[in-house]
Every structure is written in structure tokens, then in C-alpha cells.
Amino acid sequence: MPVAEAGKHPEANRPGEGHVHFVLDLQPLVVWEKGAPYTFTGVPPGEHQLMVELVQNDHSPLSPPVARQIRFRTTGAQMLPRAGAAPSPNGAPVLLVLAILLMTAGGLMRRRRG
């Protein structure tokens, strides 16, 4: 279902189901429906802002909304690893933040099922 249809299909929503919306530096929205971590590639050195929101199947926000905004700084061109490569020491904090967000999101979704 297109994000432009957010909130227009409440029949698609189910308790304990949904997905995550990521927005990095106000770039296009990433809709993430998998349990695996998501990796942003090509993140340049400097200040960044990541917005993460748990949403229902029809892209509408949960009630009450579950969203976080994180500001962070990358310090080197090799911040994120290539597929199959070990993370660089500088990239570890960014990956750790994303991993914590995903674990938190998963825990919140499981609690909603109960």
C-alpha cells in the first residue's frame, strides 16, 4: 500500500503488526518491514538526523505515537561497512544506535500483541 494512502485503509491494521519508517536527513522515507537490521549506505561525514517511527500496516501512526529522533555525527568516509566486511571502529556507534532502535521497535511491537 502506498505511503500516500496512510490512514485510509484501517482494515489492513492488525494488533501487534506494523512496520518501521526511517528518514535520514530528510531524505526519502524508508519503509522497513523486515526483522533484519537496515543499513544506510553512502552516509557522508558530518552531522545527521535519523527519525524512526513504528507505524501500523496502513502507514498510520500508532496511538500513542512511537517515534524517536536521533542526532549523530559521523567522522570518516568509511563509516558503514561493505556487505560482508567487519564494521570499522568509527562506524560502530552508528550501527549500534540503529541496532538498539530496531531491538526497541521489535520489543514494542511484541508488547502490543499481548
Confidence of residue 68 (pLDDT cuts 50, 70, 90): very high
The total number of structural domains in the chain stands at 1
Domain that holds residue 7: 3-113
Helices assigned H by DSSP within the chain: 92-113
Quote the pLDDT of residue 77.
53
Start-to-end CA span in the chain (Å)? 26
Give Rg (Cα) of the chain. Answer: 15
Residue 25 has pLDDT above 90, yes or no: yes
Quote the pLDDT of residue 103.
53
> For position 29, which CATH number holds?
2.60.40
Confidence of residue 66 (pLDDT cuts 50, 70, 90): very high
Distance CA 53, CA 29 (A): 11
Return the SS3 of 5. helix
Distance CA 20, CA 35 (A): 10
